[in-house]
Amino acid sequence: MMRGMGNMQGMMKQVQKMQKEMTKAQAALNEKEFVGVSTNEYVKATFTGDRKMIGLTVVPDVIDPEDSEMLQDLVMMAVNDALTKIEKETEQTLGKYTKGMPGF
């Protein structure tokens, strides 16, 4: 009976260690900056790892009052590119902790 309790305590320590490592990895990821770009880098969107936009740069030459839809498309392209980069890095960084767990 006591042998089973020792195994359980060891497992709990491993889980706690993994939680600390995962929290540290998530914090580092949140501080990292990700830059998404549109075609020809006309628009750049900068996000932190926790998906907060911290910058948006538009090349002035692409601002055409007669064609606002093009600028909208370029912004969406840059934003989606940045979010895709965040998702990929998050999966690479945190995936090792969540692989095989239900719901992940």
- 82 in any annotated domain: yes
Residue 49 lies in a domain: yes
Answer yes or no: is 26 within a domain.
no
Interval 7-56: pLDDT, tens:
888 888 888 888 899 999 999 999 999 999 999 999 999 999 999 999 99
Alpha helices in 59-99 (DSSP H): 68-98
Q: How many CB atoms lie within 10 A of CB 11?
A: 10
Specify if 14 maps to a domain: no
User: What is the tally of structural domains in the chain?
Assistant: 1
What pLDDT, on the 0 to 100 scale, is given for residue 12?
87
pLDDT of residue 3: 59
**Burial class, 88, CB count within 10 angstroms (exposed 0-12 / middle 13-18 / buried 19+):** exposed
- Host domain of residue 92: 34-96
User: pLDDT tens digits, residue range 35-46?
Assistant: 999 999 999 999
What CATH number has the domain bearing residue 57?
Answer: 3.30.1310.10
